[in-house]
Structure 1
């Protein structure tokens, strides 16, 4: 699997987790930010996303989107 596909999979998982967090926030904001609920539809590879707060997920999603855009534009390592 190439880098772009890995980024797309993580981006999809992060967006799904953000939707879960926002839906759960109305019930109990503290629990939504700090628990690791075990749900079968979560990808085991991205369980760490469940530990992120809504703000952390939003920032992570922005970073993944930028990384994916950079890959599409041919920028592999901006520091090189």
Structure 2
């Protein structure tokens, strides 16, 4: 049975969510605000980040080692406009 990935691209940052960081086991670094990150969580509660850009960019790891301090594929996620 597969788990559905939870996209972290809904305008929120991964960094402030302490429960996500605790599940990851490390600070996400650049991934916290990257447009290409997906947060995956298993049925047992283990969480990990997947780089969606790595699907077509072979120089990037699919599952980066955290914290990511430098990344040639990093693109800042655009925040939704505030009302």
Same fold (TM > 0.5): no
Structure number with greater CO (CA < 8 Å, separation at least 6) is: 1
Q: TM-score, normalised by structure 2?
A: 0.25
Q: TM-score, normalised by structure 1?
A: 0.26
Higher helix proportion, which one? 1
